[in-house]
Amino acid sequence: MEKGLKLGPGAFRDTAALRKALKGFDWAYFGSEFCENLLEPGLADGLRLLAGEKKDVCLLTPLVTDKGLRVLEGLFSAIRKMRFGRRFEISVNDFGVLGLIRRMRWSVPVSFGRRLSRDFALPDRGGVLSILNRDGTVLLKELKVGRLEMTLFPGALRLRRPEGAGKLRFTVFYPYMDIATSRTCLMGMPDVPPGESPATVNCARECLRANYGIKNDRIRETLIAGGNTIFVEWGGGAASRSRSARIDRLVFCPDT
Partner 1 sequence: MRLLSCITDRREIPVFRKLGVDEVYFAVGDVPNYANTGALGAAADAPGTIRAAHAHGLKVFLAANGREDRMRDPDREVLVKKIRAIAAAGLDGLIVSNPGLFRLFAGEKIGVPLHLSSVQPCFNSGTARFFVERFGISRIILPNQLAAAEAAGILRYCRSAGVETEIFCYKFFGCPYINGACYLHEPEYYTLSGPQREDGMCRMGSGGSLAKVSPYRVFERDAGTIARTAARLSLRFSRGGAPRLLNASSFFDYCLAGVDCVKYGTRTDGTEAKIRNLRAIREMLRAVSDLAGRFPPEEARRRFVERAGSYGEGT
Q: Which of residues 219-238 bind partner 1 (CB under 8 A)?
A: 219-221, 223-225, 228, 230, 232
145 touches partner 1 by CB under 8 A:
no
**Cβ at position 127, least distance to partner 1 in Å:** 13
Count of residues engaged in binding partner 1, rule: CB under 8 A: 80
Measured CA to CA, the distance from residue 84 to residue 161 in angstroms comes to 32
* Residue 255 near residue 16, CB atoms below 8 Å: no
Q: Report the Cα–Cα distance between both ends of the chain, in Å, rounded.
A: 21
Residue of 256, 211, 253, 255 whose CA lies nearest to 5: 253
Are β-strands 219-226 and 229-233 bridged in parallel, bridged antiparallel, or unpaired? antiparallel
DSSP summary character for residue 192: P
177 three-state secondary structure = strand
161 touches partner 1 by CB under 8 A:
no
64 touches partner 1 by CB under 8 A:
yes
**Cβ at position 184, least distance to partner 1 in Å:** 4
Site string for partner 1, 197-216 (x = CB under 8 A): xxxxx----x-xxxxxxxxx
Interface with partner 1 (CB under 8 A), residue from 137, 173, 239, 246: 137
Distance between alpha carbon 231 and the CA centroid of its chain, in Å? 13
- Peptide bond between residue 162 and the one before it cis (omega within 30 degrees of 0): no
Q: Which is nearer to partner 1, 4 or 68 (CB)?
A: 68
- Tell me the longest C-alpha to C-alpha distance in the chain: 56
Q: What are φ and ψ of residue 34, in 5° steps?
A: -125, -15
Measured CA to CA, the distance from residue 61 to residue 64 in angstroms comes to 9
**Cβ at position 112, least distance to partner 1 in Å:** 10
**Cβ at position 129, least distance to partner 1 in Å:** 11
Interface with partner 1 (CB under 8 A), residue from 130, 240, 248, 252: 130
Residue of 17, 11, 16 whose CA lies nearest to 38: 11
Site string for partner 1, 28-57 (x = CB under 8 A): ------------------------------
Residues 169-188 within binding reach of partner 1 (CB under 8 A): 177, 179-188
**Cβ at position 95, least distance to partner 1 in Å:** 4
Element (H, E) at 42: helix 42-51
Residues 78-117 within binding reach of partner 1 (CB under 8 A): 94-100, 115
65 touches partner 1 by CB under 8 A:
yes
Q: Which is nearer to partner 1, 41 or 254 (CB)?
A: 254
133 touches partner 1 by CB under 8 A:
yes
